[in-house]
């Protein structure tokens, strides 16, 4: 049984320049770099993994949790103190509560002129269902919006209106252009935008 401590401990154990040894997927933790809100300080350590987002707090160890015979203590860091995290090459950012979605540290799944972030309740068990049940967020020019599943085709077709062919496919909800396909839609839109600016 792991001890959860409510106070965050500065990660000073990882001071050498040697690259850290990452963990196996089964450990639930991965080597990460976390940027704090206060002073943009960067913490490095083994933080818990949240493929589709983490809420309220993140947990971490100062040493590899798979090293035996004793697992290191687990500490807690409130999300209110976290700006962003890079874990196994994936960028996460803390987004403020929007509608029914709580403040969460969510992964950015598309980078470009329009960024896409996704949050899914950790209790959603089926991987294939996650993109259908997920809450998507779009950010362009620093403005973040939540994508409303009920008005998806109208909202997203208006959002990508500069690419008229793409907007029409989304508006008509053609195969491959529905709510669960938002990653591909925005990737296509970003490509269109980049071609237009060349």
Give the pLDDT of residue 175: 97
Pairing, β 74-78 against β 4-5: parallel
* Maximum separation of any 2 CA atoms in the chain, in Å: 60
| Interatomic CA distance for residues 182 and 131, integer angstroms | 9
Which two structure tokens, joined as six digits, stand for 184? 């591909």
Which residue positions in the chain have pLDDT lower than 50? Answer: 1-18, 125-128, 130
154-163 burial: b if 16+ Cβ within 10 Å, else e: ebbbebbeeb
Span 32-79, pLDDT tens digits: 999 999 888 999 999 998 877 888 899 999 888 888 788 889 999 999
Mean pLDDT rounded to a whole number for the chain: 83
| Interatomic CA distance for residues 51 and 44, integer angstroms | 19
| Interatomic CA distance for residues 42 and 188, integer angstroms | 33
In the chain, what are the domain boundaries?
1-107, 111-198
Tokens 């933790």 sit on residue: 29
Span 16-26, pLDDT tens digits: 444 577 888 88
CB 2 within 8 A of CB 66: no
């Amino acid at each position: 049984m792991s001890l959860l401590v409510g106070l965050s401990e500065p990660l000073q154990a990882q001071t050498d320049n040697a690259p850290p040894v990452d963990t196996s997927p089964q450990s639930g933790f991965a080597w990460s770099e976390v940027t704090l809100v206060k002073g943009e300080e960067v913490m490095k350590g083994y933080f818990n993994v949240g493929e589709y987002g983490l809420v309220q707090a993140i947990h971490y160890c100062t040493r590899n949790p798979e090293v035996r015979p004793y697992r290191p203590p687990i500490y807690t860091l409130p999300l209110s103190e976290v700006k962003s995290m890079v874990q196994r090459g994936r960028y996460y950012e803390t987004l403020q509560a929007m509608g029914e979605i709580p403040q969460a540290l969510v992964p950015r799944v598309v980078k470009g002129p329009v960024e896409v972030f996704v949050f899914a309740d950790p209790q959603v068990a089926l991987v294939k269902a996650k993109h259908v049940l997920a809450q998507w967020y779009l950010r362009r020019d620093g403005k973040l919006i939540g994508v409303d599943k009920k008005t998806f085709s109208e909202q997203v077709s208006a959002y990508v209106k500069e690419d008229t062919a793409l907007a029409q496919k989304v508006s008509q909800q053609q195969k491959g252009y529905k709510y669960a396909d938002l990653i591909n839609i925005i990737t296509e839109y970003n490509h269109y935008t980049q071609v237009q600016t060349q």
